[in-house]
Amino acid sequence: MDDSTLKSLSIVLPTTKSVIKFEPAFSPTVKNYTAYVASDTEALQVRASANEPDAFCQILKADAAQSVAIKEGTSDIEIKVDAPDGSSSLYVIQVYRPSGSDATLKYITFSAGSLVPEFHRSETTYLLHVDSCVRSVLCSATPLNPKSKVQLDPEAKLFLGDTPISIQVTSAHGDNTNTYQIIARKEKQGSRPALAPVASISRESICSACGYLVFRPRTCNEVDDKTCAHRFCFTCLDLLKLEFNAGHRSGEYPCPLCPRTAQKIWSSNPSIDVPMEAQLAAVQVACLFAAYGCEQQLDMMGVYDHAQSCTFHPVSCSECEMSNCVKPVEILDGKHKEACTTSCVCGRKIRVADRPRHSQMCPSKFELPSKTVVTQSSWESALVRRQRSPNDSAGCIKAAEENKKNYLRSLIAAKEAAATESFGQSQQRPDNDILEEMANLYATAIALQHEACLGGGADENLHLNLGLVLEESCASKELFPISVATETGPSENDLAQESFMADEVDGLLEQLGIARSASDAVKIRAIESEYQRLKGEGLSDKAAEVQGLYAWKIKQVAATSGTSGWNQGHTKIGITTYSSNVLEKFQHAVAINPENPYANFHLGRALLKARQIPEATKYLRTAVGHKPLFKNARMLLGLALLSSESPTEDILLEGIEYLQEAVREHSALLWQDVKDRNLKRASQIPSQMLVDSFMELTNPFLPSAYVALASGYSMQGLPQQAAEVLTDLIYLIPDTLRRLSRRSATAARLAFIMSEAQRDLIKVLPHCSGPVPKLRAEIISGSLLDVARRYMSLYANVEGIEGLKCDTMESIVQTLVAVHPRKAKFLTALGFAQLDQYDKNPIYDRSPAKLGEAEQSFLAAIEAEGGHDPSQDARLPPGLVSSQKWWIAYQQEMTSMQWKISSHDASKVAHQPVAGKAPAAGKTTPLRSKDAKIANPKVPAPVSKAKIETAGGNKKPTPLAKGRGVAISSKPAR
């Protein structure tokens, strides 16, 4: 007898008795609804019945026919239900009656894609994100006023990138119109499709910034009635334009690449270049899996759709662990049909093709160092938290593993938030406090284990994990920097509290007989011993006070230590610096167990990042020797080999092979990610921290692997392969940059690597066949200086990378001068770059030699400005620039590459490779190469770019120091 709910509820038009739908569908427990009616609806009749027969149901403000008047705008229909026991319920239907002048939509629906933001009738601009394989979408729109007229194309044919869709609504009275603009957007998907030989490319179809086909092209809009000659990808344009543009009206900005004397003005919302989108959709490309046997050529629009069902889609071999890079015809039951692995005498499984190489690094042939007992350093002791940690090392490890899961959840949440924002505007970041707690737990576990085993039986994995956690904290802050607005200093109360705690700690230490000059570790141990004594004597109150002082002292040491402690992992580091604490932990892990491949790998990785190439190579070889199929170790070993001081022919080939594996796997993962995109991943936890994510471009080693592989190809005289790899990298980087903060050191380094890749493209594209590579080289060389300067401005607020900026700019300008030796603009830029090296790069320490180079470059620019003297060689820069070391090194590099190219041309008849040859069982070949097999002629080693030794007046070239761009931080020749 206490039921005050309705059994049924509906509203109808009094004249036609047509039922008006409302949302949501009726339910006795739902009390609020929304309905929309036409502009000429003046009343609605309500039909309602109560669940309880004795309940009283009343339609408020209704007439005798149970009709409620509806006015223009919003009207509420209220139904009150009174139960016999006195309880009541109120149901409300909010009815919206538009005016005859209303020209808004009620709904927009599409057959595919997701609309951003969610539809609202007052919002008229949207993005519709669709998959790359979608050719068209069906569109329908329902006006708010049923008598309004809607004009739209019911089936929109989609372009390769952005497709504009327009929906026009005209009011019932015909006195008002409203246009909804939707951009159907396709993102770059998977790896870059290679252009077919028959592809026809115009200058207008190449982006002036990245030097490849424009993706989502934009036009100038001719704000000032002047046509701009530059064309941009939407993302490249978004990267290069600066937020503040002095001297221009709101909504306008100057072209990023036009000279100031003839700068064109762009709209802040440039239009989609529809004709160019149509032209690009028809460009002929090869199948994404051409290297695996597919010979089909198709238009760009159809390549991703074709890839979904292509029978040449590469597969994996579970035996040799080659992931998604094997021809399907070579696989049976998940393994190569032919034997692809064998066992070494050391008992390890190796690939058949690796047998000769493994014999040189087999652990059975080397006497490894004996295990060493390690002790905790003072900085590590400062991380120990006995009071807040479990009493045994196993408990600490378990707690740390649980914390890791929580951190990884926060990491994937931060990544997902960044993926939906531009330039890292999302404030969501990984929880670094969890990392601090993990470091405390691992340090405590190491201390407890050391005490329990009296120094013996140590677990190297604890030291590895501690080092990785410290490194992860630094990587996290570089990738997700804290915004300036959230960085605040301590308040006056905080300072007063700090002073009080410092006095209390000093007083306690004085009572314990500890001198002020004692180390922090001694002070911390003394306070801890006092806490244990008080706790043992049952003086819990005093013990709690000492515990508070202990916790404050630990925090104070971690926050103020400049060379040790937790703070070391948090300091901002440059490209060539590295945390000594992280390196120490990896060294401890190797000392405890020299045979652990992961310990050797991480130590080699740390040394490679610190640019200690010979030592890094040593430990990475050990890692591969003990675990021959260790993919990440093979990739970094390839990077180290191509960064070595004297890469012989065999070293080059080995390094190239390892990096081919890595780049091919990355390409396969990109495509696999496209196929899996629709899977629900919200509940999944990423399995890797940032420092272990080697297949992501935000990890510095992956883009460096691309550049190094291209450099290896160049040194082998394979410019076409080098250009393909560099173009693949440039194709991927802009979209990654757009998701990262402009204050991110990771983003800055990635932008500089892109500039270095374009620099290297200028070297190899002129040696490639066909008109398109030469056209791209011309466009890139004409814009690279301005693009690089733009990136320097974009990341001007990033700390700790000044030396990298100087190195990158100088190396870029050196190449531009080498290509255009008589151009005053580039010679002037070279002088300024060398002057910046002298002033800002601590490596040069204000070297007089570098200052002298800058002076020579400026004088050469002045001479070039005056015009060319016919008596001088036009291939040489004016003045003394041609005597600078970098010029000599560049000429030697180009001569060596040209010699190699000529050798290949001469041997093509005798050694004709198979086009698009895929890797055989346990073997690899260059990517997307028409002559994929690397020739191995007996030729002299490439000559050095950096050193010239003179004896008896004759210049004698030394072996090549390193391929330009192969190192983690490409530096100009010094």
Residue-wise pLDDT tens digits, 198-234: 888 889 899 999 999 999 998 775 545 567 888 899 8
CA pseudo-torsion sign 18, 23, 27, 31: negative
Return left, alpha or beta for 145; rule: phi > 0 is left, psi -120 to 50 is alpha, else beta.
beta
Indicate if 105-186 has the same CATH topology as 6-97: yes
The full set of domain ranges for the chain reads 6-97, 105-186, 495-561
pLDDT (0 to 100) of residue 676: 57
End-to-end CA distance of the chain: 94
pLDDT (0 to 100) of residue 570: 33
- Average pLDDT of the chain is 82
Residues of the chain with pLDDT under 70: 1, 221-226, 242-251, 261, 268, 420-425, 454-457, 483-495, 554-579, 673-687, 868, 907-974
Burial 538-564 (b: 16+ CB within 10 A, else e): eeeeebeebbebbebbbebbbeebeeb
867: Cβ contacts below 8 Å, ≥ 6 apart: none
Which fold does the domain 105-186 belong to in CATH? Immunoglobulin-like (2.60.40)
d(CA 400, CA 135): 49
Phi, psi of 587 (to 5 degrees): -65, -40
Global pTM value: 0.80
Residue 309 tokens read as 């069902």
Work out whether strand 88-97 and strand 32-36 pair parallel, antiparallel, or are unpaired: parallel
DSSP 269: S
d(CA 698, CA 479): 8
d(CA 180, CA 157): 17
Q: Where are the alpha helices (DSSP H) in 820-962?
A: 824-840, 848-865, 885-907
795: Cβ contacts below 8 Å, ≥ 6 apart: 742, 743, 747, 748, 751, 801
Return left, alpha or beta for 367; rule: phi > 0 is left, psi -120 to 50 is alpha, else beta.
beta
What are the DSSP E strand ranges found in 614-713?
Answer: none
pLDDT (0 to 100) of residue 199: 83
Look at residue 820 and give its three-state secondary structure.
Answer: coil
CB–CB of 399/391 below 8 Å?
no
Domain 6-97 in CATH 2.30.110: no
pLDDT (0 to 100) of residue 420: 67
d(CA 839, CA 832): 10
d(CA 932, CA 926): 5
pLDDT (0 to 100) of residue 829: 94
What amino acid occupies position 951?
Answer: A
**How is the chain split among helix, strand and coil, in percent rounded to 5?**
45, 15, 40
Return left, alpha or beta for 102; rule: phi > 0 is left, psi -120 to 50 is alpha, else beta.
beta
Q: What are the tens digits of pLDDT across the range 47-101?
A: 999 998 889 999 999 998 899 999 988 899 999 999 988 899 999 999 999 888 8
